[in-house]
Structure 1
Amino acid sequence: MRKLFGAFAGICFMLSAGLASAEVTPFTFVHISDVHVGSGNNEEALRKGLKEIDKAVPEAEFIIITGDVTDLGSGDELTSYVEALKATKKKVYSVPGNHDGRWSESGKEMFKKIVGPSYEKWDNNGIRFISMDVSMLVEQYAHFDGAQMKKLEADLSSLPEGAPAIISFHHPPFHSSRFFDNDLEFAELIRKYNVPLVLDGHGHSYVRYAYNGTSYAMGGSTFGANAGYRVWKVSPDAINGEIHRFGKSEVESEDPIPMTRATDSAPGDLKQASAGVFELKPASGYEFKSASYKIDDLVTGTATSLETGRFEVDVKKLPVGRHEIVVTAETGDGLKHLRACLFDTSAVTADSSSLFDPISTITREWALGSGGQANPTVNGDVMYVGANDGLFRAIDLKTGDIKWNADLTRETLSTPVVVDGRVYTAALDGNVYCFDAETGKEIWKTGTDNAILASPLVADGRVYIGSGDFHMYAMSADTGDILWKFAAQKHIKMTPALENGKLYFGAWDNWFYCVDAKSGELVWKVPASRSVGLSSATCNPAVKDGRVLMVTHDYSVRCLDARNGSHLWMYKPAKDELGPSYSSAVLVGDMAYLGSINGHVVGYNMVTGEKSFDVDVRPEKTDALFDSAPLIRGDKLYIGSVGGNVYCIDIPSQKVAWSVALQPGFIFTGPAAWGDKLLISSMGNRIFEIPIEPVSPR
């Protein structure tokens, strides 16, 4: 029997009925979002907007701003934002958005230092308010972090029974664009409590909708044609919303939201009854008006035969692995309900008539405290990997046990490097670490002046790594002493490439650099693209035989002459064509292979620049390939996707050989190989082990 580590507990989510109302006394507050200080005249627009709010709604006790408070998340922008808030006399609560952490030199460290905590709770007149950070480091997507979900559960469960709570964060959940990978986990958690209202942003509009008895309301921005804000007037029985437009006297009143969240006991639990058959029965006295399902954001359909509570889905359209099915059911009273369930599929074998073979495609899994955005590294029989819970782990792959771990106190995005019995990594605390690979004893730790989002390169007795303090460092691999540091104009996220004593790297300053690896002296630098926003700053460069491959954020792939930085060739995508942008290249022979955000794995000839390899991993619906760099073994290429899948591509035929679903959870990491197994970290708070050759093709 296979052993399961950090086993998935409780395949189907559980249901809890709504809670009774708690006593609330009247008050008023304001909600705005997406002020984007740092872009155009947005700082002045924020000041003006806050003054108008003070004048128009003097009774408001506080203001909630749900993210994207800056445009690029720099320290200067965050400082300007805090200065702009002085235009109001009211208390302001802020949460980060994707713009505050995606391009920031500090991740979210400076937000917490300059603006305030990224998770906060406060009580006001009988209501508990909780602000959360759902933005992701260096990504545009959203995720309910494992550690914050534990805090949320604790802060809701500590309330008196029936006491209401209002939650705020940036991205809107349950959106057709799938900003989240685990928003159903959030929906299931809050159904146990009286959460009548959730505030969000991101869309610069006033969208409002309701699921499971909870209303979701998007906040307006302080700039643009639709600029405005919501005023929320709270009474003991209801929360009344009003939309105000800046510079206009008209007020748009909205339907009141009951203070006691509508009970959500109409549908029962969604569960798997048998292979391909699911059950969702309405409670006594209710009937379904309609019901639809979606599996892995891919397969959709209508849940028929609901009078029996059972419906069938064609799971043969799915790859093997773990899947999430979400049912949206509308009852006769007009309320919409969400139910979710996870289920596993295995391949059909030649000697089995059952759809589910007893051999699983997930052979082991390890639980993480938060999601994983760091690639695992395998050395011998040990896997080394960091995660967003701050723990750096060494896992014995023979036994599955944790060999040792180290608390780095902050998120780790670095891919560890193992050389001569030592393992090197870095974290957002700004430190580079060297541990004894066998015992985990810290050998040295060297600090930089800002967070580190990059991975180290270890070669010739040196550790080369970029930092959020705008410098590329060379440190002694033996002692950690800083040998030199080279100043760029913005932060450095990528890992440099090294050939013939020269380092090649880009930064978020739109320059691409060549630096002498021994002295740290500049050899040459060339502009990367047309603007800073299109810098060559995310994909790691690759170098071979005097040719340097780098990718810019206009989806162009460039090959430079290593001697002077001149262009040897450039592949510029056609209009509206999305290409490589985040996934780093892997070189095999004269070919460079990368993932692209349009869901294609592409390959370019390093000599000619010809794009001679192009595979759409999921033609039926785009499955974006962001940061996951390909792993190539023999004639097979392996890569992870935003959709939470791992793909195997047969290189000679340019076809997908198979795929495995690992739901729910974005995959931004590249896989590592251990014998006949693949290991990959997921934002689903897990590291998965799967066979390199599953039972049958996709």
Structure 2
Amino acid sequence: MTRGSLMTSPALDRRRFLTIAGAAGALGGAASLAAPGSAWAAPLGAPAADDPEPTRPLSFAVLTDTHANALESSRLDVLRRTFASIERAAPTFVLNCGDITDYGGDDDFDAYLSTIPAGLRDRLHHVPGNHEVRWDVHGAELYHRLFGPTPYSFDAAGLHVVGLDPTQLLQEPGHFGREHLDWLARDLRRAGPSVLFLHYPFWAEHYYVNDQDAFFETIADLPVRAIFAGHIHREQVVRTNGLTQVAANAVRNGSFYYWAERTGDVGHDVLRVSAVAVAADGSDTRRELTTIPLGKDPAAHDLRPRYVEVSPPAGGAAGVAIRLPAPDAATAMRAQVYPQQVFGGGSAGTWVDLARSGRDWSGTVDVGALAAGTHRLQVRVVGTGGAQFDVTEPFTIPAGDPAAPREGWHADLPGSVQGALAHHGELVVAATTTGAVEAFRPHANGRTVVWQARTGAVHRGAAFDAEGGTLYIPSADHHLYALRARDGRRRWRFEASDPVLSTPLVTSVQGVATVIFSAGRTLYAVDAGTGARRWSSDLRGFFAGRAACDGERVYVGAGDGNAYAFDAATGTPLWTYDATTRQDPYGRLLYGPWDDVIELLPGGAVLVATVSATVALDRASGQRRWSVAASCMYTPSLVVEGSAAGAGGVLLTDEFGRLQLVDPATGVAVWKSEVGTRAFNAGPVRSGETMWIVTATGLLAGVDVATGTVLHRRQLGPANTFSTPVLVDGVLVTGDQDGRLRGIDLP
């Protein structure tokens, strides 16, 4: 019985669902796939909050990163051997910490289900990993249909267990957001000793979840005793912030899992955790790993700072002063600027040791290389026995140049602004992952909200028609919405076969305004005025980018590794370009143009990008004209008109924040530059002789069009940014994963 969930499982309209259901039927009946509350989602079938025997025996198994792939039979054999060992051990329940499959495909889930013994089916609980949501043609619907909604919780023998899900559809790193953390706080408020499991690990050297500091603030006074995680494919135990975190070795590496058993230790309940390796003959070897107290850790109170003060930066340094509740609690204290530049990865950090005076600790941190704007200081308190406590404190670097960009206003929307902002004239529209749509007029020091509306979740940008009278919004609820721009009222709603996870293109085909977009593996052309389907074509692969059209042909990328041209009037395929040398389906998806914003170039070429190369193709034939070895798929390119200050060209931005202006006829670089941090999905906009780009780590950079010189840098905030901004009357409007809109007054 689940205590509640943030989301409900959406209805699943899928061509191949019966295949998956059939596979599960072999494990004990398709009824287990019905919905949340089924055997896959329900814990143990026993009352959750009213367990009459909280001290009865309890043991459970944890595994992670199973990466089931229907084409990798040896990997499936390892999974079967692992599950067979777990079944023999007779656990109370089993936790899978995500990356269940290689890419969330139907066949891979089918293969995974086939490895699970019938006796474990109703004891197995899952959370998704980034591999379930990064490239999923079904927009995570298949995962939720099979395993239930996330987040969720259950109780077993006096232990409260919470499955968390900070994964982000179409993205690699994690992010909780306010709604998820509010749910967690409510869920834990009534709980006893609690164990959390999720895909990404925290703290230590881990920076996979963008708002992990907000997560730890949320649980600071709540009864969380342990966290089990995966993702890093190696074993690690960390005692941090009053709990023990176990990052588990991956089943992808071999037949490994972890066994936790509640026992008494000097009158106190603990979880004894062992690492289990299963040999080829099915025998297993157990190795004691760690002991996790289920009572409150009193030392955590003494390691938690009473306050952290960051002095105004001066001379390239910022002073820090910290006080602890107990003078002798810490053996060391370290501080660093939070490594905001680390995007969904790990970092050993640039820690500075602080000096102690009584119960106070102090020192200075180098901030000389930081851009003006908002940053975080990370403090790590080290106690006896290796325990630590991490906290962050915001601080601001003032802009030394009075003509630098400055934030004039900000506003918060529910969910994440993940898709590009849209604007026509002075009207700007933002849509979020909770389905909130808001139209407003920005000013230098504020904004005027014109209307608000609701759709399903939005993960890609909206688009206006040429006249600005209608707005087209893609939604994960399987619909493309056409809203009246002046008041947000619905004109029509087109139903697709899959979630609409691409940015629509509004164009003219044979004199008829047409909206072109993809949903799943299907490319659609819809009458912009009526919503009637003009045609649809099979893409043979998932596409989450934006198509291009020159009136004669429609150009798209696809997750099968190819780029395609279709007849704009009929949808008939015209040519195919193989964009990757990979041959297996998983490799062709990852290294194909699945998330590219296709761009028309002057001179009859079309630009297509992957994570390996960016190529200009002849529009008529699909033949390659030139190629640049740069990973420019994620960040949209920009055709730059020439001016008196410099030549025009095509601005390419790769995922590592490296920019180059290239000649559209030859691909030869006019200049090269870099902004220093990763860039994903948020493309550049031009204001006069400056191009502005917001990187994935929230850094705003202004780049000179003529030379590539970086003129301005400002850190907007802590949240990742995947949304292309818009420029209205000198105000740059941005949106981020925290749901924050900002109005930036540009020089």
Q: Normalising by the residue count of structure 1, what TM-score does the alignment of the two structures yield?
A: 0.88
**How far apart are residue 249 of structure 1 and its match?**
3.3
SS at the partner of 1:363? strand
Residue 540 in structure 1 maps to residue 597 in structure 2: yes
Aligned 8 A contact 2:274 2:290 in 1: no
| Alpha-carbon separation, structure 2, partners of 1:273 and 1:253 | 42
- 1:625-664 maps to which residues of 2 (within 5 A)? 625-664=679-718
Letter of the 1:394 partner, please give it. Answer: A
List aligned pairs for 1:425-436, cutoff 5 A.
Answer: 425-436=473-484
Separation in structure 2 between the aligned mates of residue 400 and residue 240 of structure 1, nearest angstrom: 56
Using the TM superposition, name which of 127-136 and 651-660 deviates more: 651-660
1:292-691 maps to which residues of 2 (within 5 A)?
292-297=334-339, 300-307=350-357, 308-332=360-384, 334-348=386-400, 361-398=406-443, 400-420=447-467, 421-460=469-508, 461-531=512-582, 532-533=588-589, 534-544=591-601, 545-554=603-612, 556-572=613-629, 579-589=631-641, 591-618=649-676, 623-691=677-745
- Aligned residues: percent identity? 20
* C-alpha separation in 2, matches of 1:411 and 1:181: 20
Residues in 1 aligned to 2:462 and 2:141: alpha-carbon distance in whole angstroms: 20
Change (3 A) 1:233 1:309: same
User: Please, which moves more after superposition, 131-140 or 477-486?
Assistant: 131-140
CA shift, 1:222, in A, is: 2.7
How many Å separate the matches in 2 of 1:244 and 1:301?
35
Deviations 1:363-386 (A, max 9, x none): 211112222211111223322011
Q: CA deviation at 1:301?
A: 4.2
Q: Secondary structure at the match of 1:254?
A: strand
Q: Report the Cα offset of residue 316 of structure 1.
A: 4.1
Aligned to 2:218, what secondary structure does the other structure show? helix
Q: Which amino acid aligns with 1:527?
A: D
Q: 1:332 to 1:36 in 2, by over 3 A?
A: closer
Cα 1:501–1:345 change in 2 (3 A) is same
User: Cα distance 1:270–1:660, how it changes in 2: closer, same or farther (>3 A)?
Assistant: farther
Q: Would you say how many aligned residue pairs link Structure 1 and Structure 2?
A: 649
Partner Cα separation in structure 1 for residue 384 and residue 236 of structure 2: 24
1:89 match: secondary structure: helix
Note closer, same or farther for the CA distance 1:291–1:76 as it changes in structure 2 (3 Å cut): same
Equivalent in the alignment of 1:354: none
Bigger drift between 658-667 and 588-597 goes to 588-597
Q: Partner letter of residue 431 of structure 2?
A: G
Moved more, 97-106 or 76-85: 76-85
Question: How far off its partner does 1:484 sit?
Answer: 0.6
Structure 2 residue runs of 5 or longer lacking an equivalent are: 1-52, 314-318, 342-348, 583-587, 642-647
Paired amino acid for 1:304: L
Q: 1:562 to 1:535 in 2, by over 3 A?
A: same
CA 1:221–1:349 in structure 2 vs 1: closer, same or farther (change >3 Å)? Answer: closer
1:181-330 superposed matches below 5 A: 181-224=210-253, 226-235=254-263, 237-247=269-279, 248-263=283-298, 264-266=300-302, 267-272=304-309, 274-276=311-313, 277-297=319-339, 300-307=350-357, 308-330=360-382
- Tell me if 1:48 matches 2:46: no
- AA aligned to 1:257 is I
SS at match of 2:611: coil
**Residue 110 of structure 2 is aligned to residue 75 of structure 1:** no
Q: Aligned-pair distance for 1:291?
A: 1.9
Cα 1:602–1:261, aligned 2, differ >3 Å: closer, same or farther?
farther
Q: Is the CA contact 1:288–1:306 (under 8 Å) kept in the aligned structure 2?
A: no
Conserved? CA contact 2:337–2:365, under 8 Å: no
Q: 3-state DSSP class of the match of 1:383?
A: strand
Distance 1:515 1:194 in 2: 57
The Cα offsets for residues 396-449 of structure 1, whole Å up to 9 and x where unpaired, read as 324524332222232432333354311111111110001111111111100100
Instruction: Check whether the contact 1:321–1:346 (CA below 8 A) recurs between aligned residues.
Output: yes
Q: Are 1:26 and 2:57 an aligned pair?
A: yes
TM-score by length of 2: 0.83
User: Cα gap change, 1:84/1:625 in structure 2, threshold over 3 Å: closer, same or farther?
Assistant: same
Single out whichever of 209-218 and 581-590 deviates more from structure 2. 581-590
- The whole-number CA distance in structure 1 between the counterparts of 2:206 and 2:615 is 31
Deviation at 1:244, TM superposition (A): 0.4
Q: Which residue of 1 aligns with 2:35?
A: none
Verify: 1:84 aligned to 2:112, yes or no: no
CA distance in 2, matches of 1:242, 1:262: 21
Q: Is the 8 A contact 1:232 1:242 kept in 2?
A: yes
Q: Secondary structure at the match of 2:499?
A: coil
